[in-house]
Amino acid sequence: MHHFFVKDHQISEKEIFIEEGDYNHAVNVLRLRSGEEILISDEEGRDYVCEVGENDKELQRLRLFIKEMTEKNHELPSRVYLFQGLPKSDKMEFIIQKATELGVSDIVPVNMKNCVVKLDDKKAEAKLKRWRAIAESAAKQSKRSAVPEIHDIMSFTEAVKMAEEMDLSILPYECEDGMAGMIDAIVNFLPGRHIAVFIGPEGGFDRLEVKFARDRGVRTVSLGRRILRTETAALAVLSMIMIRLEIAEQMGFDEE
């Protein structure tokens, strides 16, 4: 079943309208026809099973009739923020795609000291547009109820200050010894919490960045005895968080 995301203004009591870029994709690429069923998700994470209706070519709108609506969504029971150091080549696209599949709610590209990639404003704007399209495509493919927010690129200092508002922040660091910190973090991956994960670029974190983060409450943890690539580290941590949160929700665990 094809899947689209819409804004609140596109929804009425019994109908939903597909507009703008999605209209072209639905009509000219997917060639949706009257009577077909598609899945729609709104900004609150509600899902609608709809039947395709009238194609208004003049207004560039496709009318859908709501057949069924459910409050049950496919999101994790916590907001998970990935603060990803800018990697080389197209690795960021891969990370965004897989992080979306794993349930992350926000992805923040971070310019760190050891990042090789340097983007001017024009290139950054183009990259962000591409990354947001990838996140939406991955959200559709994985049947998520919401598209992760891809934030503007920020500095490491700005990222750490943003993470100060989270309930839990972790930073996998290759110089950290033992798994005690990671085990403690896993125990604290609970429904309802805001969780921040910092992942360094290929060159790793600068030691002054680590000190700055630690001084502001970010926990440094180890991911084991092997050194993981930046894209592997991100997916390893997010997989742990996803599984822990899904199990905790099923078993009725919460912050209390």
- Domain harbouring 28, CATH code: 2.40.240.20
Say yes or no to pLDDT of 16 above 80.
yes
Mean pLDDT of the chain: 92
Structural contact between residues 51 and 36, judged by C-beta atoms closer than 8 angstroms: yes
Task: Give the CA dihedral 149, 45, 95, 236, nearest 10 degrees.
Answer: 120
The residue from 70, 87, 120 where one domain ends is 70
Q: Are residues 113 and 219 in the same domain?
A: yes
Confidence (pLDDT) at 126: 95
Confidence (pLDDT) at 20: 86
The CATH number that applies at residue 157 is 3.40.1280.10
pLDDT-derived band at 121, boundaries 50, 70, 90:
confident
Q: Are residues 8 and 26 in the same domain?
A: yes
Q: Are residues 109 and 59 in the same domain?
A: no
The residue from 15, 49, 70 where one domain ends is 70
Q: Has residue 17 been placed in a domain?
A: yes
**Would you report the helix, strand and coil content of the chain in percent, each value rounded to 5?**
35, 25, 40
Structural contact between residues 81 and 110, judged by C-beta atoms closer than 8 angstroms: no
Residue 188 corresponds to which tokens in the numbers above? 């604290």
Q: Are residues 172 and 109 in the same domain?
A: yes
Secondary structure letter of residue 10 according to DSSP? G
Residue 203 corresponds to which tokens in the numbers above? 């060159």
Q: Has residue 256 been placed in a domain?
A: no
The number of folded domains in the chain is 2
Q: Has residue 187 been placed in a domain?
A: yes
69-73, 158-162, 182-186, 222-226: lowest mean pLDDT where?
69-73
Mean pLDDT calculated for residue range 65-84: 89
Confidence (pLDDT) at 228: 93
Q: Are residues 169 and 209 in the same domain?
A: yes
Q: Are residues 60 and 159 in the same domain?
A: no
The residue from 70, 101, 116 where one domain ends is 70
Domain of 48, in residue numbers: 3-70
Considering only residues 157 and 59, tell me which one the structure prediction assigns the higher pLDDT: 157
Q: Are residues 205 and 100 in the same domain?
A: yes
Q: Are residues 64 and 91 in the same domain?
A: no
Say yes or no to pLDDT of 118 above 90.
no
pLDDT digits (tens, 9 = 90+) for 49-74: 999 999 998 889 999 999 998 766 78
Q: Are residues 58 and 104 in the same domain?
A: no
Task: Give the CA dihedral 84, 85, 91, 92, nearest 10 degrees.
Answer: 50
Say yes or no to pLDDT of 253 above 80.
no
Structural contact between residues 84 and 135, judged by C-beta atoms closer than 8 angstroms: no
pLDDT digits (tens, 9 = 90+) for 194-211: 999 999 999 999 999 999
Strand-by-strand arrangement of the 37-41 sheet: 3-5, 37-41, 47-56, 61-70, 15-19
Say yes or no to pLDDT of 256 above 60.
no
Mean pLDDT calculated for residue range 101-110: 97
Percent of the residues in the chain that have a pLDDT greater than 90, as a whole number: 75
β-partners of residue 204 are none
Q: Are residues 101 and 157 in the same domain?
A: yes
Considering only residues 141 and 99, tell me which one the structure prediction assigns the higher pLDDT: 99
Q: Are residues 93 and 52 in the same domain?
A: no
Mean pLDDT calculated for residue range 110-123: 91
Q: Are residues 12 and 108 in the same domain?
A: no
pLDDT-derived band at 255, boundaries 50, 70, 90:
low
